[in-house]
Amino acid sequence: MRAFYIAPFLIFAICGQSPVLAATVELQAAVKLDPLAEIRETALKSGQAYALLESLTTDVGQRLAGSENDAKAVAWAKAKFTELGFDRVYTEPVRYPVWTRGEESLVSVSPATQKFSVAALGGSMGTGAKGVEAEVVQFDDYKNLESAAAGSAAGKIVFINYQMLRTRDGSDYGAAVISRVAGASAAAKLGARALIIRSIGTDQTRNPHTGVMRYDNTPTRIPAAAIGNIDADLLAAMIKRGKPVTLKLQLGARTLKGDYVGANVIGEITGAVKPKEIVAIGGHLDSWDLGTGAIDDGAGVAITMSAAALIGAQATPPKRTIRVVLFANEEQGVYGGKAYAAARVKADEVGQQVIAAESDFGAGRIYSLKTNLSDARLAGLAPLLRALAPLDITLGANDAGGSADFGPMREAGAPVADLQQDGTKYFDIHHTARDTLDQVDAEDLKQNVAAYAVFARFFADE
């Protein structure tokens, strides 16, 4: 701009360019120098995250915690971090029990025989080889089950028939998932022999959605499984006809003796000015076993690895360290997230975390940035919001939770953010056999990488 005002004619004479063109060239140079705009544009053109996701879901596949593929995924992550040029690559141990699925089946014995598609809930016990054969008693939702009269399910298989609602932010998951998490113990209290739930999902398919369940201190434990929404419709229709419906459930699920020692895998781009101050992003490396864990949470792994790697490749290094944490065993109880926070608390390093955000809601486009920052830091977000605007991302409420794995860090007092993804279709495939690479839109994935890269770069230099 200075050249334009001081010596336009001179520039024109020397370069043979019009003053306006010279100014445009200068302006473009200035845009290139803005690391936020630069990283956004680089990320939008990069196929790196998709290639990482393809490799993870193809070369490793499903990543059930404690399985052979769990160890393979850890080795994969270490190798990829190194390949991508991260300055520091290391693991931290995480202990957890190992649950295995085994063979499973569900059939109606009377009044009509029919095979149902079924999946044991993670953590469920098995039925034994003989299975559980019993009449079904239906409850509309968890509340109805919990408040039912003692003995009202004695000797029966409880069926919870709650249909999860479709929303952009997945807000019905909390209300729906209680059936899955706590249903077995609530049913056991009423004398039930097994639990079947309508899947916690929004699809109209036969695919059952698995997911973790818990036994509370109710002395009796019973097996628990989910059936797909279409199969739940069928079962409800059978029950509605008024004749007793008898099911036979067989689950080979069991929890092995002794803990497994897995790992959080961590890669860092070292900050050039304040290396001890940390901008943490990440996803969880484990998945359920039915699909290949593409949207849950291969996408989060690929998005955050690529965002940091692209920043590492920029000409100007970030001032603070960018840390990518790939958490162990989120699915069965946030084991990696809890271990990560416990290690930071023990080392008195919670205060070093400038901000943290986990990508764990699929691969849909990001539309909002939620934070939990002080007023002073909120006031300084304008450059970040300007850089996010072309990605159609606006500032949301200052009530971010930090997703599952950074939740324990938030509880320890660290600032967190949520880059909210459009989850309208997320619960169609979440925890099902359809969680595969073809469900991920390559262009949407680029938008996610761009958002994480801009976010991490801003807070690294803030």
Q: Which is nearer to Zn ion, 104 or 296 (CB)?
A: 296
CB of 292 to Zn ion, least distance (A): 14
Q: Which is nearer to Zn ion, 127 or 199 (CB)?
A: 199
Structure tokens at 225: 């499984």
Question: Residue 186 carries which side chain, given as an amino acid letter?
Answer: A
Q: In angstroms, what CA-CA distances link 55 with 127, 390, 440?
A: 36, 29, 14
The 3-state DSSP class for residue 241 equals coil
Mask of contacts with Zn ion, 323-362, x by CB under 5 A?
-------------------------------------x--
Question: 123-156 burial, b for 16+ CB within 10 Å, e for fewer?
Answer: bbbbbeeebbbbebbbbebbeebbebeeeebeeb
Q: How far apart are CA 148 and CA 435, in angstroms?
A: 36
CB of 370 to Zn ion, least distance (A): 18
Tracing tokens 């409880």 back to the chain, one arrives at: 158
DSSP assignment of 333-402 equals T-HHHHHHHHHHHHTT-GGGEEEEEE--S-SSPEEEEEE---HHHHHT-HHHHHHHGGGT-EE--S----
CB of 330 to Zn ion, least distance (A): 6
Q: How many residues at the interface with Zn ion, by CB under 5 A?
A: 3
Q: Which is nearer to Zn ion, 289 or 360 (CB)?
A: 360
Q: Which is nearer to Zn ion, 203 or 360 (CB)?
A: 360
CB of 235 to Zn ion, least distance (A): 28
CB of 110 to Zn ion, least distance (A): 39
Among 104, 330, 331, 358, the one annotated catalytic:
330
> What is the CB neighbour count within 10 angstroms for residue 70?
23
Structure tokens at 368: 């909002």
Tell me if 49 sits within 8 A of 294, measured CB to CB: no
330 is catalytic: yes
Q: How far apart are CA 226 and CA 198, in angstroms?
A: 6
Tell me if 312 sits within 8 A of 305, measured CB to CB: no
CB of 360 to Zn ion, least distance (A): 4
Site for Zn ion in 355-414 (CB under 5 A): 360
Tell me if 354 sits within 8 A of 412, measured CB to CB: no
CB of 394 to Zn ion, least distance (A): 25
Site for Zn ion in 185-224 (CB under 5 A): none
Q: Which is nearer to Zn ion, 311 or 437 (CB)?
A: 437
The H or E element that residue 15 is part of is helix 8-15
Q: Which is nearer to Zn ion, 63 or 320 (CB)?
A: 63
Burial of 5 (0-12, 13-18, 19+ CB in 10 A): exposed
Site for Zn ion in 280-309 (CB under 5 A): 296-297
Q: Which is nearer to Zn ion, 208 or 337 (CB)?
A: 337
Q: How far apart are CA 311 and CA 38, in angstroms?
A: 10
Catalytic residues: 330
Could you list the residues that contact Zn ion (CB under 5 A)? 296-297, 360
